[in-house]
Amino acid sequence: MFETQEEPLPAQPVAIAPARHAVFGSPIAHSKSPWIHARFGEQCGIPLTYQAIEAGPDAFPAALEAFAKAGGTGANVTLPLKTVAAKLARELGDAARRSGVVNTLTRLPGGGWRGDNTDGIGLVTDIAERQRIDIRGRRTLVLGAGGAVQGVIDALLEAGVSEVVLANRTPARADALADRIGDPARVHTRYWEALGDAGGFELIVNGTAAGHSGQPLQLPFSLAMSRTLAYDLNYGRAAVDFLAWARAAGCSYVFDGLGMLVEQAAEAFRIWHGVRPETDPVYQQLRASVPRP
How would you classify residue 72: left for phi > 0, otherwise alpha for psi between -120 and 50, otherwise beta?
A: beta
Rounded to an integer, what distance in angstroms lies between the CA atom of residue 276 and that of residue 287? 20
3-state secondary structure of 254: strand
How far out from the chain centre does Cα 48 lie?
A: 21
87 catalytic? Reply is no
Catalytic residue chosen out of the listed positions 32, 69, 82, 87: 82
Rounded to an integer, what distance in angstroms lies between the CA atom of residue 53 and that of residue 36? 16
Beta strands in the chain (DSSP E): 19-25, 48-54, 74-77, 91-92, 104-107, 113-116, 139-143, 163-167, 187-189, 201-206, 224-232, 253-255
DSSP string, 8-69: PPPPPPPPPPPEEEEEEESS-TT-SHHHHHHHHHHHHT--EEEEEEE--TTTHHHHHHHHHH
Angle, in degrees to the nearest 10, between helices 33-44 and 280-289 = 150
- Is beta strand 187-189 parallel, antiparallel or unpaired with respect to 163-167? parallel
CB half-sphere exposure, 93, CA atoms < 13 A? 22
Q: Pick from 105, 124, 107, 130: which is nearest to 115 by CA?
A: 105
Q: Which residues are catalytic?
A: 82
